[in-house]
Amino acid sequence: MTIINNTPRRLRLAMIGGGQGAFIGGVHRMAARLDDRFELVAGAFSSQAERNLATASELGIDEQRCYTDYAALLAGEAAREDGAQVVAIVTPNHLHYPAALASLEAGFHVVCEKPMTFSVEEAEQLAQAAEKSARHFVLMHNYAGYPLVQHARELIAEGVLGQLRHVQVEYIQEWLSEPPEADNRQAAWRLDPAQAGAAGCLGDIGVHAFQLAQFISGQRVSEVSAELVTAVPGRALDDNVQALLRFNGGARGMLWASQTAAGYENALTIRIIGEKASLQWAQEQPNELWLKPLNGPSQRLTRRDDWLSANIAQGVRVPGGHPEGYIEAFANLYQALADGYTSGEYPSWLPGIEDGVDGMRFIAAAITSHEAEGSWTPLHLSKASGASGGAP
């Protein structure tokens, strides 16, 4: 547990997106601030000039460093001696790729929202740019930041479950159950292919479920049989996804993502079935992890640093029984980036480019399978195997 995790030297952070009325930008700011490792110094918060300036003012950002767009931000900050060191990209999807590419090329470390790009090709190009740049790229698969998610991954890597048999993952929400009102900014861009890409629910939260399944299991999805559903008529994109999975390590799996599931708020749940035991974790109760041995009593593991590895305990701030949540998990990705920036070593669990490439391959394969009446479709993984993000 790291009660005192402050540091005299804060990294300087710039933000692209996250203007007033946005959701995730504010979360990034709280997460970056929580451990006192970042200071927000610049931003291109909105393409609407008025909103952009108002946001900067509210955030106490110098007007000089409130830029009209990402290109101006990158140029301006690169030119300053005290310029930003890290750029957070929190825009709608269509800007992820160009802004991330430009940020890397301009020499910035990057924190980027998912899905990483619009296509597999873009993802692969970004991967090349990242490799060339010697800068670190963090993909905001924030659920990997929960200590008990990381603990689940370690237990599996250590063989506690034995051979894995089945991965059951779902991520269901209710908030798009009804046609969105015109003024729901969050809904509007997510359902617009020009801003969201070819995938709706699949790209917004399905890809989180997919990443979590690979992340915890340590196996990669090799084939998918999927059906995309548009439950609310008139939408251009899917709002419900159901898929069967085959993993490269032999496990099978099922993935359900929905944004039209009445009564469910943010229900991301995963179960990993092994020959010797199973694991179960639910994001809405993130401070407990169920270890269910074959023919034995189920055990409720909590977020106690006395049984977490030192690496994971780094992301625990208060003792077991003192609940931590979404912001803390989110902050763990920022903390890991700051630690890595200083030490040069990034923890293997920190989601990055590889997760993004896999995610785009999953999206592409799911769409292909859907169009081919559910036939099993390979993901054409570039690397033979191994856990996403490397071995723990």
Q: Interaction with a second copy in 271-300: which residues (CB under 8 A)?
A: 273-278, 283-287, 290-300
CA dihedral 149, 155, 158, 162 (to 10 degrees): -120
Contact residue for a second copy among 63, 181, 263, 310 (CB under 8 A): 263
- Nearest CA among 247, 249, 236, 241 for reference residue 366: 241
Contact in structure between 43 and 61 (CB atoms under 8 Å): yes
- Restricted to residues 64-123, the positions that interact with a second copy (CB under 8 A) are none
Q: Which is nearer to a second copy, 131 or 265 (CB)?
A: 265
d(C-alpha 105, C-alpha 239), whole Å = 35
d(C-alpha 88, C-alpha 110), whole Å = 6
Q: Which stretch binds a second copy (CB under 8 A): 64-72, 207-215, 238-246, 343-351?
A: 238-246
Q: Which is nearer to a second copy, 36 or 124 (CB)?
A: 36
Q: How many residues bind a second copy (CB under 8 A)?
A: 98
Q: Which is nearer to a second copy, 4 or 182 (CB)?
A: 4
Apex 329 CA angle, 292 and 186, nearest 5? 110
- Nearest CA among 197, 198, 205 for reference residue 240: 205
Cis peptide before 378 (omega within 30 of 0): no
- Restricted to residues 119-148, the positions that interact with a second copy (CB under 8 A) are none
Dig out the tokens for 231 from the structure.
Answer: 């439950």
Other C-beta atoms closer than 10 Å to the C-beta of 26 total: 15
Contact residue for a second copy among 69, 327, 348, 368 (CB under 8 A): 327
- Restricted to residues 16-75, the positions that interact with a second copy (CB under 8 A) are 20, 22-23, 25-27, 29-30, 33-36, 55, 57-60
- Restricted to residues 160-189, the positions that interact with a second copy (CB under 8 A) are 161, 165-166, 168, 170, 172-175, 177-178
Contact letters for a second copy, residues 200-229 (x by CB under 8 A): -------------------------x-x-x
CB of 332 to a second copy, least distance (A): 13
Dig out the tokens for 116 from the structure.
Answer: 């990483």
CB of 110 to a second copy, least distance (A): 22
